[in-house]
Amino acid sequence: KNEVEQSPQNLTAQEGEFITINCSYSVGISALHWLQQHPGGGIVSLFMLSSGKKKHGRLIATINIQEKHSSLHITASHPRDSAVYICAVRSQATGTASKLTFGTGTRLQVTL
């Protein structure tokens, strides 16, 4: 079982739809990152969370530490939101505290 699991793996939505991507993890963490990766492109950090909720434009990220679960929401989705969205966690374990463990990503396609 992977330490970080995302759902769904693939998601197709029509422009304007509200989108939710989920992330569950099995280890104690000090922080959780939501990342965006465009085809052939690099990875962009969207959010880093350790509690509560953050909002940036049409993106909202929430985390429930007790339930070991986080969600990324996109409101009023647009074709330019099409990308792979990756959840990554920073473990509380001793050692390399900053290294990230990644989920396998959610491939989002937003159509007109």
Partner 1 sequence: GAGVSQSPRYKVAKRGQDVALRCDPISGHVSLFWYQQALGQGPEFLTYFQNEAQLDKSGLPSDRFFAERPEGSVSTLKIQRTQQEDSAVYLCASSPGTGGLGYTFGSGTRLTVV
Which residues of this protein are in contact with partner 1, per CB under 8 A? 4, 30-31, 33, 35, 41-45, 48, 86, 88, 90, 95-105
Rounded least distance, CB 91 to partner 1, Å:
11
Nearer to partner 1, 45 or 75 (CB): 45
Rounded least distance, CB 35 to partner 1, Å:
8
Nearer to partner 1, 30 or 109 (CB): 30
Q: Whole-angstrom Cα distance, residue 24 to residue 76?
A: 24
Say which residues have a Cβ less than 8 Å from residue 90's Cβ, sequence separation at least 6.
Answer: 29, 30, 31, 32, 33, 97, 98, 99, 100, 101
Rounded least distance, CB 42 to partner 1, Å:
4
Q: Whole-angstrom Cα distance, residue 66 to residue 2?
A: 19
> 10 Å Cβ neighbour count for 54?
15
Q: Report whether the peptide linkage leading into residue 8 is cis, meaning its omega lies within 30 degrees of zero.
A: yes
Nearer to partner 1, 14 or 99 (CB): 99
Rounded least distance, CB 16 to partner 1, Å:
29
Nearer to partner 1, 42 or 112 (CB): 42
